[in-house]
Structure 1
Amino acid sequence: MSMRTSVLSAAAVVMALGLAATGCGRAGDDGGEGGGPGTLTLGYFPNITHAPALVGVEDGTFADALGDVELQTQTFNAGPDAVNALFAGEVDATFIGPNPAISGWAQSDGAALRVIAGSTSRGAGLVVRPGIDSVEDLPGTTISTPQLGNTQDVALRWFAREQGWDVDTEGGGEVSILPQGNAEIIDAFVLGEIDGAWVPEPHLSRLVDEAGAELLVDETDLWPDTGGEFVTTHLIVSAEFLESDPEAVENLLRGHIETVDRINENPEDAQAAAISHLESLTGGEPDPEVVASAFENVTFTVDPIAPSLQGGAEHAEAVGLLDPVDLDGIYALEPLNGLLAEEGRDEVAGLG
């Protein structure tokens, strides 16, 4: 069995189990594990690329926007876990990276989820140890990514393919790609066990500021057709929840727009809110300088930057981590565009 098949089959098994357990119901219906009628359960990661979630939950913006609908939250450390929770009815909506959303869409034949807004763009790249001065120095090195098949893993494998290098999912080839958790990546880099990593913020800033790494490839340079913008995090919702409670989804989007605006207008206040929320989630206070650096390297926007999602899917297909997938219908941007139109703002576009 190929690695691509095994990864996708595992996701399909979990999805099937989740749907069977909930009868395909929304969170909380008839004994489901979510919050139930009158609630919205929102997923997100304790990560700066999920800052709109961190800030919006911390300052109560989402809760206020939802009104009589109670906000419940659940945090994750990996995209596949968040998708599986959506499949199982444990969350109604979640902030998530592009590749897990694409995989979830493919595995459910387009039935399980919709992308309803963008959240974060940019904020990822390849950092390396001193002495690696150019891309030509990379053959023979070991480079880590956060997880096999995740957004940064696909980005690195696509980059290697564009350079003409042979790589595989077993860590072999001209560049050895070693997927491991972000915390492990930092430890491995400090110990000299790896030569670099393709990672998102704030791990990129941590490696540079705390471990002496140097930025070799800024991923913004690899997306000229979108002006350097590419989706790092977007907001997805259960397709069933979107149909059953469109008002709650619209109000969630109201809170999301307000939060993104606040972050862009008052980044220092937003950083303080993000730090406070991360401390409550993890028990440790992030370095404010690392958080500030990470904020400078990302763009917060409700635009989903749809062409980059299509590009990411094509890249995953090209490197053998995704079967060909038709993304037509993955976006449900009408609620978001309706709210933007109310404020006299430009609408955002999906695919096609």
Structure 2
Amino acid sequence: MRAHPSARSSRRVLGAAAVLLLTVAACGYGSDSAGSGSSGESSAPAGSSGGDALSADSVTIGYFANITHASALIGLDDDGAIRQELGGTEVGTQVFNAGPSAIEALNAGAVDLTFIGPNPAVNGFAQSGGQNLRIVAGAASGGASLVVNPDTVDGLDDLAGKSIATPQLGNTQDVALLNYLVGEGFSVDAASGKGDVTVVRIPNSEIPTAFESGSIDGAWVPEPTAANLLTRGAETILDEGELWDDGRYVVTHLIASQSFLEEHPDVVEAVIRGLVTTTDWINENPDDAKAEANAALEALNGSPLPEEVLDPAFDNVEFLTDPLAATLRDGADHAVAAGLLDETDLTGIYDLSLLNKVLKDEGLPKITEDAGLGVR
């Protein structure tokens, strides 16, 4: 395994063999997908990179075992940039299969920060009255699409009467599908999924089997589930990026507990600094990132992702630290319109001050757009 080159300083050398836990058969692939029949939570041992601890002796960081969380998976590797930036502060990790589990863990103090999709973050913020979390950085954009069985669905004009799967009721892809259907004039009950088009909520790990059995006609899903379905005969009829300005929309970002952010801003800053370095490395070395991911898959599961799944899955995700706040705001509006979220004031959901401090230190442009939802 090749060692990651230093991006900006010897403190941020990314080590060899990043262990990307991109489990195909057992874990969900979406940024906030549900696992197969589980609460979606597991833990990894804590460790530190040595040196002096920051203001906290330890920090616990959550993430999902999938491609849209690759910056977390690489940065939290034993020699990854996030661990390097944290110095002697011990790092514990929690791997989640579902957004609600990650929010519950954050609320309970079981994790201090977590990578997560936009809709669980919005729901968590709303349910706490804006008291539990802040979005402190972006992580990934894109990577979701509507793929269908071409034998039963003849394009976007042929969705009436069809069954389309999403990973979870109210998850990011579920809201996107419901919003699209309403915009096209279809009537669908958000809670039950029944209507002109039937929306079926199935964990990502089970969607390929449902597709092959013929119990669904298609799915609005993130990578690599979408690429997986293409290898089983599906066709893409809509890339979600086509619905957003510049093709960009938030699929993963980094949130922090408000109390932890207030008490340990230096720790949060270190995590963000490591995230910026990791993101740069992925973008500068996409082939190496894919190769290391596949090598880790083979070591963990006995077999790698086939190239026809891995390549398009990585190509369809953009890794960036801009949280794309306007797309979160619009996504929240879509959830309200679909009846999945009560109208709520999201002011204060963003605190990008530490991200902008890191970007300034690195000579990079600040993120000036928070869609009016930043801390006042």
What is the TM-score of this pair, normalised by structure 2?
0.81
CA distance, structure 2, for counterparts of residue 308 and residue 338 of structure 1? 23
Query: What whole-Å deviation, never above 9, does each CA across 1:81-136 have from its counterpart, x for those lacking one?
Result: 11111111111111100000000000111110000000000110100001323211
Corresponding letter in the other structure for 2:268: V
1:338 aligns with 2:360: no
Q: 1:141 to 1:322 in 2, by over 3 A?
A: same
- Residue 204 (structure 2) aligns with: 182
Distance 2:304 2:183 in 1: 39
For this pair of structures, how many residues does the alignment match?
314
Aligned-residue CA RMSD in angstroms? 1.6
Task: Please name the residue that 2:250 is paired with.
Answer: 231
1:46 and 1:281 in contact (8 A); partners too:
no
8 Å Cα contact 1:54-1:277 kept in structure 2: no
**Per-residue deviation, 1:323:** 0.2
Who is 1:91 aligned against? 111
* 2:73 equivalent in structure 1: 54
Query: Is residue 157 from structure 1 mapped to residue 178 from structure 2 by the alignment?
Result: yes
Per-residue deviation, 1:37: 4.7
Report which stretch shifted further, 165-174 or 109-118: 165-174
CA deviation after TM superposition for structure 1 residue 282, in Å: 6.0
Distance, in Å, in 2 between the alignment partners of 1:164 and 1:280 is 48
For the 8 Å contact 1:114–1:330, the answer to whether it is kept is yes
Aligned to 1:202: 224
- How far does the alpha carbon of each residue in 1:230-273 deviate from its partner, in whole angstroms, 9 at most, with x for none? 00000001111101111111010110000000000001111233
Answer whether contact 1:117 1:304 (CA < 8 A) is retained: yes
Deviation, 1:172, is 1.6
Percent same amino acid at aligned positions? 52
Q: Identify the residue that residue 41 of structure 1 maps to in structure 2.
A: 60
Asked whether the 8 Å contact 1:54–1:278 carries over to 2, the reply is no
2:130 is the counterpart of 1:72: no
2:69 and 2:139 in contact (8 A); partners too: yes
Q: Secondary structure at the match of 2:247?
A: coil
**5+ residue gaps, structure 1:** 1-35
Structure 1 residue 278: Cα displacement: 5.0
**Gap change, CA 1:184 and 1:191, over 3 Å in 2:** same
Question: Using the alignment, how far apart are the partners of 1:335 and 1:281 within structure 2?
Answer: 35
Task: From the two aligned structures, give the one with the greater helix fraction.
Answer: 1
TM-score (norm 1): 0.86
Residues 133 and 216 of structure 1 are in contact (CA less than 8 Å); yes or no, is this contact kept in structure 2? Answer: no
Q: 1:289 Cα shift?
A: 3.5
Residue type at the aligned position of 1:341: K
Letter in 1 for 2:228: R
8 Å contact kept, 2:279–2:321 = yes
